[in-house]
Protein backbone atom coordinates (compact mmCIF):
# COMPACT_ATOMS: atom_id res chain seq x y z
CA UNK A 1 0.00 0.00 0.00
CA UNK A 2 1.06 3.57 -0.58
CA UNK A 3 -0.47 6.90 0.29
CA UNK A 4 -0.10 10.57 1.05
CA UNK A 5 -1.75 12.82 3.60
CA UNK A 6 -2.88 16.38 3.01
CA UNK A 7 -3.63 19.30 5.29
CA UNK A 8 -4.78 22.45 3.50
CA UNK A 9 -5.61 25.66 5.36
CA UNK A 10 -8.59 27.30 3.69
CA UNK A 11 -8.52 30.84 2.28
CA UNK A 12 -11.29 33.42 2.07
CA UNK A 13 -10.91 36.84 0.44
CA UNK A 14 -7.15 36.31 0.18
CA UNK A 15 -6.72 35.59 3.90
CA UNK A 16 -6.01 32.26 5.60
CA UNK A 17 -8.91 31.17 7.81
CA UNK A 18 -7.89 30.36 11.38
CA UNK A 19 -8.58 26.73 12.34
CA UNK A 20 -10.38 25.94 9.06
CA UNK A 21 -8.84 23.12 7.02
CA UNK A 22 -9.51 20.46 4.41
CA UNK A 23 -7.87 17.24 5.61
CA UNK A 24 -7.21 14.48 3.12
CA UNK A 25 -5.57 11.17 2.36
CA UNK A 26 -5.08 9.38 -0.95
CA UNK A 27 -4.12 5.73 -0.78
CA UNK A 28 -3.69 2.87 -3.23
CA UNK A 29 -2.84 -0.80 -3.26
CA UNK A 30 -0.91 -2.80 -4.19
CA UNK A 31 1.68 -0.03 -4.33
CA UNK A 32 3.51 -1.41 -7.37
CA UNK A 33 0.37 -2.31 -9.39
CA UNK A 34 -2.67 -0.47 -7.99
CA UNK A 35 -6.05 -2.17 -8.19
CA UNK A 36 -7.81 0.46 -6.08
CA UNK A 37 -7.30 4.15 -5.33
CA UNK A 38 -9.15 5.87 -2.48
CA UNK A 39 -9.29 9.61 -1.85
CA UNK A 40 -10.85 10.90 1.37
CA UNK A 41 -11.30 14.63 2.02
CA UNK A 42 -12.90 16.01 5.16
CA UNK A 43 -13.93 19.65 5.16
CA UNK A 44 -13.32 21.57 8.39
CA UNK A 45 -13.69 18.83 11.02
CA UNK A 46 -14.34 20.05 14.57
CA UNK A 47 -12.69 19.14 17.88
CA UNK A 48 -9.88 17.09 16.33
CA UNK A 49 -6.21 17.56 15.55
CA UNK A 50 -6.06 19.24 12.15
CA UNK A 51 -3.96 16.72 10.20
CA UNK A 52 -4.95 14.50 7.29
CA UNK A 53 -3.01 11.59 8.79
CA UNK A 54 -5.08 11.70 11.97
CA UNK A 55 -8.52 12.40 10.51
CA UNK A 56 -8.74 11.21 6.88
CA UNK A 57 -6.16 8.39 6.79
CA UNK A 58 -8.01 6.06 9.21
CA UNK A 59 -11.14 6.31 7.03
CA UNK A 60 -9.12 5.41 3.93
CA UNK A 61 -7.38 2.60 5.82
CA UNK A 62 -10.74 1.02 6.68
CA UNK A 63 -11.84 1.18 3.04
CA UNK A 64 -8.55 -0.20 1.72
CA UNK A 65 -8.51 -2.99 4.30
CA UNK A 66 -11.98 -4.08 3.16
CA UNK A 67 -10.86 -3.81 -0.48
CA UNK A 68 -8.08 -6.36 0.06
CA UNK A 69 -10.66 -9.07 0.68
CA UNK A 70 -13.23 -7.78 -1.81
CA UNK A 71 -10.68 -7.65 -4.63
CA UNK A 72 -8.96 -10.87 -3.49
CA UNK A 73 -5.54 -9.23 -3.27
CA UNK A 74 -3.06 -11.75 -1.88
CA UNK A 75 -0.21 -10.92 0.47
CA UNK A 76 3.14 -11.43 -1.23
CA UNK A 77 6.13 -13.18 0.28
CA UNK A 78 8.88 -10.82 1.39
CA UNK A 79 6.59 -7.83 1.84
CA UNK A 80 7.07 -5.97 5.10
CA UNK A 81 4.36 -4.41 7.17
CA UNK A 82 4.90 -0.96 8.63
CA UNK A 83 3.75 -0.70 12.20
CA UNK A 84 2.29 2.72 13.02
CA UNK A 85 -0.52 3.57 15.35
CA UNK A 86 -2.53 6.61 14.24
CA UNK A 87 -3.45 7.19 17.85
CA UNK A 88 0.16 7.63 19.02
CA UNK A 89 0.35 10.81 21.07
CA UNK A 90 2.95 13.35 20.00
CA UNK A 91 4.25 16.17 22.14
CA UNK A 92 5.79 19.46 21.03
CA UNK A 93 7.37 22.42 22.79
CA UNK A 94 5.50 25.71 22.50
CA UNK A 95 7.63 28.35 20.81
CA UNK A 96 7.54 32.09 21.50
CA UNK A 97 5.35 34.00 19.03
CA UNK A 98 5.05 37.30 20.92
CA UNK A 99 5.83 40.07 18.44
CA UNK A 100 4.85 37.92 15.43
CA UNK A 101 1.83 38.32 13.17
CA UNK A 102 -1.09 35.88 13.35
CA UNK A 103 0.01 34.42 10.01
CA UNK A 104 3.55 33.85 11.33
CA UNK A 105 2.19 32.34 14.57
CA UNK A 106 0.02 29.92 12.59
CA UNK A 107 3.11 28.56 10.82
CA UNK A 108 5.29 28.44 13.94
CA UNK A 109 2.63 26.77 16.12
CA UNK A 110 1.23 24.48 13.43
CA UNK A 111 1.09 21.49 15.82
CA UNK A 112 -1.47 23.23 18.03
CA UNK A 113 -5.00 24.64 17.81
CA UNK A 114 -4.79 28.41 18.11
CA UNK A 115 -7.38 30.64 19.76
CA UNK A 116 -7.10 34.36 19.14
CA UNK A 117 -8.53 37.17 21.22
CA UNK A 118 -8.14 40.93 21.15
CA UNK A 119 -7.60 43.00 18.06
CA UNK A 120 -4.59 44.19 16.18
CA UNK A 121 -1.89 42.83 13.94
CA UNK A 122 0.68 41.46 16.39
CA UNK A 123 0.72 38.81 19.12
CA UNK A 124 1.22 40.63 22.45
CA UNK A 125 0.82 37.65 24.81
CA UNK A 126 0.46 33.87 24.70
CA UNK A 127 -0.64 31.11 27.01
CA UNK A 128 1.00 28.79 27.72
CA UNK A 129 4.39 30.48 27.56
CA UNK A 130 7.30 29.32 25.42
CA UNK A 131 9.04 26.14 26.54
CA UNK A 132 5.85 24.39 27.68
CA UNK A 133 5.45 20.84 26.29
CA UNK A 134 1.94 20.08 25.07
CA UNK A 135 0.24 17.21 23.29
CA UNK A 136 -0.27 17.78 19.58
CA UNK A 137 -3.60 19.50 18.99
CA UNK A 138 -3.65 21.23 22.37
CA UNK A 139 -4.91 24.81 22.48
CA UNK A 140 -2.57 27.78 22.60
CA UNK A 141 -4.26 31.13 23.35
CA UNK A 142 -2.88 34.20 21.59
CA UNK A 143 -3.71 37.82 22.44
CA UNK A 144 -3.62 40.26 19.53
CA UNK A 145 -2.72 43.92 19.93
CA UNK A 146 -0.82 46.72 18.19
> How do the domains of the chain map onto residue ranges?
2-70, 91-145
Q: With contact defined as beta carbons under 8 Å apart, do 112 and 137 qualify?
A: yes
Q: Read off the pLDDT band of 143 (50, 70, 90).
A: very high
Q: With contact defined as beta carbons under 8 Å apart, do 42 and 20 qualify?
A: no
Lowest mean pLDDT among 40-44, 48-52, 109-113, 116-120: 48-52
Beta-bridged to residue 21, according to DSSP, are: 9
Q: Which fold has domain 91-145?
A: Trypsin Inhibitor V; Chain A (3.30.10)
- Give per-residue pLDDT as tens, 12-64: 999 999 889 999 999 999 988 899 999 999 999 887 777 888 889 999 999 99
Distance of CA 139 to the CA centre of its chain: 14
pLDDT value at position 142? 96
- Give per-residue pLDDT as tens, 81-93: 655 555 567 888 9
Question: DSSP letter string over 69-85?
Answer: HHTTPPPPTT-------
Residue 135: C-alpha distances to residues 4, 40, 69, 70, 111 (Å): 23, 25, 36, 38, 9
Rounded distance, CA 130 to CA 48, Å? 23
Amino acid sequence: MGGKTGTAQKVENGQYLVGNYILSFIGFLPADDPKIVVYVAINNPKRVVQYGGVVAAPVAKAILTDAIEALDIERREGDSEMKYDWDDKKYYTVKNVVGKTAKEATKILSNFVLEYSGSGDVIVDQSPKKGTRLEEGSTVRLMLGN
